[in-house]
């Protein structure tokens, strides 16, 4: 198939890489050439790492299947276009409105949102039967799950197409009703925020909280280490979205999380979060 990916950040880049790895023609679109250059460099680095572990990874063939472009017109005849931009509903609605006008009638529009409802994006399109959520997990080349989110208007044909697409990427899928945060983040993000509250209250150290969950709950990594991997700004956006949508106090945002994000301590990507990476 021809797969379009809008947004060349960590998630969009990973989705493009995996789609190309399994033989699809991929168009990766972003606003600037600078962003696309960084995306290509990141993809090459990722594939180099994978090829050292698996000599069947054909890096040059995979890269050659990806067109890096600022021209959204190249998405016009894609079979599926996956939006992977900033986690902001107004920005996503604007993108879906534009894609709906640009893309051919058969094109399925999907969002990689991790927290927002698909129905809020469907509302600005004229193809409600061909809109869904495809939530990949970071890092996309290594994580095996995709949450498929359908609205009440998503057609069975659309669902069959995206399920087949995900399966061909050698990933497993779960079908989720269109609710805030879906399944994984609905469980995961509040747990991480509770761990942040424990730090803020002085209940235990960062290292001991992570050690407790690794040894006491058999988690592969602790919640605060995971928070740094995800990005504290991303966590803040997700938890705020859930709290606003539900108005449930159990989804409150820890003040320490707000303070750290305001200070630019975003985790691995900024060099400092709950741990130092310099």
d(CA 278, CA 268): 9
Contact criterion met (CB below 8 Å) for 102 and 125:
no
Q: Which of 24, 185, 237, 270 is catalytic?
A: 185
The backbone torsions φ and ψ at residue 272, rounded to the nearest 5 degrees and listed phi first, read -155, 135
Give, in degrees to the nearest 5, the angle at Cα 270 between 82 and 273: 105
d(CA 122, CA 82): 14
Tokens at 70, concatenated: 């600022």
Q: Which of 24, 46, 112, 114 is catalytic?
A: 114
Q: Which of 135, 173, 237, 270 is catalytic?
A: 135
Q: Which of 87, 147, 237, 265 is catalytic?
A: 147
Give the helix, strand, coil percentages of the chain, each rounded to 5. 50, 15, 35
147 flagged as catalytic: yes
278 flagged as catalytic: no
Number of H helices, E strands in the chain: 11, 8
219 flagged as catalytic: no
185 flagged as catalytic: yes
Active site residues: 114, 135, 147, 185
């Amino acid at each position: 198939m021809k797969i379009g990916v809008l947004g060349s950040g960590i998630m969009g880049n990973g989705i493009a890489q995996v789609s190309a790895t399994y033989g699809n023609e991929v168009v990766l679109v972003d606003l600037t050439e600078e962003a696309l250059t960084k995306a290509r460099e990141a993809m090459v680095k990722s594939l180099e790492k994978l090829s050292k572990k698996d000599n069947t990874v054909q890096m040059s063939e995979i890269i050659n299947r990806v067109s890096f472009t600022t021209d959204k017109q190249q998405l016009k005849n894609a079979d599926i276009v996956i939006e992977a931009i900033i986690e902001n509903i107004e920005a996503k609605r604007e993108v879906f409105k534009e894609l709906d006008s640009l893309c051919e009638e058969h094109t399925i529009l999907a969002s990689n949102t991790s927290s927002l409802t698909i129905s809020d994006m469907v509302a600005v399109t004229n193809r409600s039967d061909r809109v869904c959520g495809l939530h990949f997990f970071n890092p996309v080349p290594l994580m095996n799950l995709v949450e498929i989110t359908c609205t009440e208007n998503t057609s069975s044909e659309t669902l069959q197409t995206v399920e087949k697409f995900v399966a061909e990427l050698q990933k497993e899928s779960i079908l989720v009703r269109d609710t805030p945060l879906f399944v994984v983040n609905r469980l995961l993000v509040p747990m991480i925020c509770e761990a942040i509250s424990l730090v803020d209250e002085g209940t235990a150290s960062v290292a001991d909280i992570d050690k407790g969950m690794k040894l006491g709950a058999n988690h592969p990594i602790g919640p605060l280490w995971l928070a740094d991997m995800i990005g504290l700004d991303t966590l803040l956006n997700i938890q705020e979205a859930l709290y606003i949508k539900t108005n449930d106090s159990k989804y409150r945002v820890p003040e320490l999380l707000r303070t750290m994000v305001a200070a630019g301590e975003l985790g691995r990507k900024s060099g400092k979060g709950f741990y130092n990476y310099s």
